[in-house]
Chains A and B, each alone.
Chain A
Amino acid sequence: MIELILADRCTECGACVEVCPTNVIARAVAGPPLLARVEDCQTCFLCELYCRADAIYVAPDCDRRVAITPEQAVASGRLGQYRKHSGWDEWAGQYPNEQWLMETVFRRAGEAARPAEADDKRTT
């Protein structure tokens, strides 16, 4: 679930408020947006993808809250990781979209599993 919007980084652009599919984040009268309905967070990480300031930290935990400080989030080096590896914004061209490899992986797995089934034992 979303755990942090880092005030030091947030530019108050409002993108996260707009794109959150479960309406977790609310505009504040002043300052960074508020985590108004964290219990509705579906842990999809899409707010991070749309945050150009890399100011959001979503913990992978979908069924429990996690205590993390802004300092720990910065020190983790994971802020902005999703956006970077997706090649969005300033990362365009540096990280290619290789989603097309998905079918190849399933095909190779099927080929690897077939002889194993014939032998009735696992390949390792």
Chain B
Amino acid sequence: MHSSADGPSGVTVTVIVSDASSLALSLTADVLVIGGGMAGAWAAVSAARAGARVILADKGYCGTSGVTAAAGPGHWWVPPHAREQAVAQRVAAGLGLGEAAWMHAIIEETWRSLPTLAGRYAFGIDDEGRTNYRAVRGPEYMRALRAFARDHGVTILDHSPVLELLARSDGSIGGARGLRRQDGDRVYQIAAGATVLAAGGTSFLSHLLGSRTNTGDGYLMAAEAGADLSGMEFTAAYTIAPAHSTMTRSMAYSFATYYDSDGRELDLPFGPQQTMGLAKALQAGPVFCSLHRLPDDIKARLHTISPNVPLVFDRWGIDPFGDRFEVTLHNDGTIRGLGGVRVDDVDGRTAVPGLFVAGDNASREKVAGAISGGGNVNSAWALTSGIRAGQAAAQLARAVGGSAATLTPLGQAGLRPKVRTRALDIDAIRAGVRDEMHPFEKVLFRKESTLAASQRALDGLWREIADHAAGDLLRSRETAALVASARWSVATARQRTESRGLHHRIDHPQLDPQLAVRLLSSGFDRIVVTAEGQRASAASRALEAAS
């Protein structure tokens, strides 16, 4: 049975009846983009501009999904004369894991491409009348990128989470399959010449603003296709928020004063060590905050700088400039951390033919080094990797052509249980992931004994999911991705027996020069961690020797 096409720009839409006699939607495109946040939207625009027929599938709504939409990203914005110095500083701060050429590439692409959004995004004009491209407001930015994509003929599938990638007989990626949540969970399948994974990172279900749907799906799908991950140990980033809120917008806290529950002021000066100090204070008891030191001109303009920040205070009847309110830290996971799929080029190409990875779905070690790329660097990376991946995917799709191929679904855990389907307490498994990936004593102050215990706990959750989960496919699939991502993170953290950048080991507090190398992780039932550039067996020996 066939029905008519409804996609713009010549995207073929066919309705077919599957063997299970449920109606499945079958579509074709040159380029499929999975994820409609910042990286995915830029990728879709760029691929379409290169002449490709593009479908973008988002788990939620392209425009509000993801961590950019609810926040206000700055971009790494450096004029040409200042770049050598900026890159040299970042390379040094990155403690051996950054690459100068990659940094230059994202600065240049951002400098060239971000202003092309003018007309759709009203860039700010500063008090001197100059246009400010660097800092943008999330909701307006993502609304503009959606409009930009639509203007370029991109077909957007909202509320259409991808569940798995599809492989051609030669192992290359030929599309994906997912669900249409607002169409009765109808299954859809897209055959595409090339696929860009831009499904975000994961906060392991912390309350980091906008991160609820970022469950590491893109890590799991890439790994199932044969890609490996890099830098998954770098998840010890946290952002402050009023307790019980998601408002992880940190600007005003640069002038914060902190107190313990007895009202004593805490010595927590603004600077790179502040998160560590706050975490220690929070381990000792509740921490309260006052923003009275924020300069008066900024207090007066807070609602026009970050309109969502005052929502929390106003609705709770708190005067943040006079009252003391309780604060907490939400874990940033790989989002303001670093880990993700290893990519070999700024265009996000992976070891898997036909598969490109962009934004937080990719490791950002090469552009950020071993320290958080939160804010500027990660945004410049999302933009650049999106644009370059879109171009490269369009080019590959032209070479592959529209030939029909038999596509094999690659999804395993959460979709196709290895043993037998059994009802699982998915909420308990998700809570189990949080329990291993959020507490300061397990993530920020790591040591072998707690890491080993986390590994055992997560291995148990993995067996449950991999052996038995099915049922609510989206939920069990998300949970499988969360558990898999957590396991790669903990396994890699155990092997990095030193402290470097975001990764702190209280049992190995120093830098180990032998470990100035990116660590790769792969595997499911058995996880293998290797040092980049070394063969697995030799690397394992090297890592054992170092520990």
Interface residues on B, range: 35 or more
Assuming the A-B contacts A62-B246, A99-B135, are A76 and B124 also in contact, with contact meaning beta carbons closer than 8 angstroms in the complex?
Answer: no
Q: Is B47 an interface residue (CB 8 A)?
A: no
Number of interface residues of A (CB under 8 A): 50
Q: Check B304 against A95 for contact (C-beta < 8 Å).
A: yes
Assuming the A-B contacts A102-B72, A103-B135, A105-B254, are A23 and B311 also in contact, with contact meaning beta carbons closer than 8 angstroms in the complex?
Answer: no
Q: Is B136 an interface residue (CB 8 A)?
A: yes
Chain B residue nearest to A113 in the complex (CB) = B270
Assuming the A-B contacts A60-B247, A81-B314, are A86 and B301 also in contact, with contact meaning beta carbons closer than 8 angstroms in the complex?
Answer: no
Chain A residue nearest to B137 in the complex (CB) = A99
Assuming the A-B contacts A85-B303, A85-B307, are A60 and B139 also in contact, with contact meaning beta carbons closer than 8 angstroms in the complex?
Answer: no
Q: Check A103 against B134 for contact (C-beta < 8 Å).
A: yes
Q: Check A122 against B269 for contact (C-beta < 8 Å).
A: yes
The number of residue pairs between A and B whose CB atoms lie closer than 8 Å in the complex comes to: 167
Q: Check A96 against B304 for contact (C-beta < 8 Å).
A: yes
On chain B, the residues within 8 Å of A105 by CB distance are 251-252, 254-255, 295, 298, 305
- The listed residue (A64, A86, A100) touching B124 by CB distance below 8 A is A100
Q: Check B311 against A82 for contact (C-beta < 8 Å).
A: yes
A58 to B264, CA, bound (A): 33
Q: Check B63 against A86 for contact (C-beta < 8 Å).
A: no
Q: Check B251 against A102 for contact (C-beta < 8 Å).
A: yes
A108 to B69, CA, bound (A): 26
Nearest CB of chain B from residue A96's CB, rounded to whole Å: 6
Flag the segment in B7-15, B94-102, B206-214, B522-530 that touches A. Answer: B206-214
On chain A, the residues within 8 Å of B271 by CB distance are 110, 113, 117
On chain A, the residues within 8 Å of B78 by CB distance are none
Where chain A touches its partner, the secondary structure class is loop
Q: Contact mask A76-87 → B, CB, 8 Å, 1/0?
A: 101001100111
On chain B, the residues within 8 Å of A43 by CB distance are 207, 209, 245-246
Q: Check B267 against A122 for contact (C-beta < 8 Å).
A: yes
Q: Contact mask B123-140 → A, CB, 8 Å, 1/0?
A: 111100000101111011
Q: Check A46 against B139 for contact (C-beta < 8 Å).
A: yes
A4 to B171, CA, bound (A): 49
Q: Contact mask B296-312 → A, CB, 8 Å, 1/0?
A: 00100101111110111
Nearest CB of chain A from residue B89's CB, rounded to whole Å: 14
Nearest CB of chain B from residue A100's CB, rounded to whole Å: 4
Assuming the A-B contacts A60-B312, A105-B251, A122-B269, are A44 and B244 also in contact, with contact meaning beta carbons closer than 8 angstroms in the complex?
Answer: no
Q: Is A67 an interface residue (CB 8 A)?
A: no
A45 to B209, CA, bound (A): 10
Q: Check A62 against B244 for contact (C-beta < 8 Å).
A: yes
Chain A residue nearest to B131 in the complex (CB) = A100
On chain B, the residues within 8 Å of A21 by CB distance are 59-61, 64-66, 69, 210, 212-213
Assuming the A-B contacts A46-B69, A76-B315, are A22 and B269 also in contact, with contact meaning beta carbons closer than 8 angstroms in the complex?
Answer: no
A86 to B139, CA, bound (A): 9
Q: Contact mask B441-477 → A, CB, 8 Å, 1/0?
A: 0000000000000000000000000000000000000
A117 to B271, CA, bound (A): 9
On chain B, the residues within 8 Å of A46 by CB distance are 64, 69-70, 139
B 198-236 contacts with A by CB, 8 A: 207, 209-213
Nearest CB of chain A from residue B58's CB, rounded to whole Å: 8
Q: Is B93 an interface residue (CB 8 A)?
A: no
Q: Contact mask A31-56 → B, CB, 8 Å, 1/0?
A: 00000000010111110011000000
Assuming the A-B contacts A19-B64, A23-B60, A116-B269, are A60 and B255 also in contact, with contact meaning beta carbons closer than 8 angstroms in the complex?
Answer: no
A101 to B538, CA, bound (A): 51
- The listed residue (B134, B267, B307, B312) touching A100 by CB distance below 8 A is B134
A 85-111 contacts with B by CB, 8 A: 85-87, 95-103, 105-106, 108-110
Q: Is B374 an interface residue (CB 8 A)?
A: no
Nearest CB of chain A from residue B143's CB, rounded to whole Å: 9
On chain B, the residues within 8 Å of A96 by CB distance are 124, 304
Assuming the A-B contacts A45-B308, A103-B134, are A20 and B60 also in contact, with contact meaning beta carbons closer than 8 angstroms in the complex?
Answer: yes
Task: Point out which of B70, B72, B181, B308 has the most chain A C-beta atoms below 10 A from its C-beta.
Answer: B308
Q: Check B301 against A98 for contact (C-beta < 8 Å).
A: yes
Q: Is B502 an interface residue (CB 8 A)?
A: no
Q: Check B315 against A59 for contact (C-beta < 8 Å).
A: yes
Q: Is B158 an interface residue (CB 8 A)?
A: yes
Task: Point out which of B72, B267, B307 has the most chain A C-beta atoms below 10 A from its C-beta.
Answer: B307
Q: Is B122 an interface residue (CB 8 A)?
A: yes
On chain A, the residues within 8 Å of B308 by CB distance are 45, 82
Q: Check A23 against B181 for contact (C-beta < 8 Å).
A: yes
Task: Point out which of B182, B213, B269 has the most chain A C-beta atoms below 10 A from its C-beta.
Answer: B269
Q: A95-B303, A99-B135, A99-B306 are known contacts; what are 9 more A-B pairs with Cβ within 8 Å?
A: A19-B64, A21-B60, A45-B308, A60-B244, A62-B246, A86-B307, A98-B124, A109-B255, A122-B269
Interface residues of A (CB under 8 A from B): 17-23, 40, 42-46, 49-50, 58-64, 76, 78, 81-82, 85-87, 95-103, 105-106, 108-110, 112-113, 116-117, 122-124
23 contacts between A and B (CB under 8 A): A19-B64, A20-B64, A21-B64, A21-B213, A42-B246, A43-B209, A46-B70, A49-B139, A60-B244, A62-B244, A63-B244, A78-B314, A98-B124, A99-B135, A100-B134, A101-B301, A102-B135, A102-B305, A105-B251, A105-B254, A108-B295, A109-B270, A112-B270
5 tightest Cβ-Cβ pairs between the two chains A and B? A21-B60, A109-B254, A42-B212, A100-B132, A100-B124
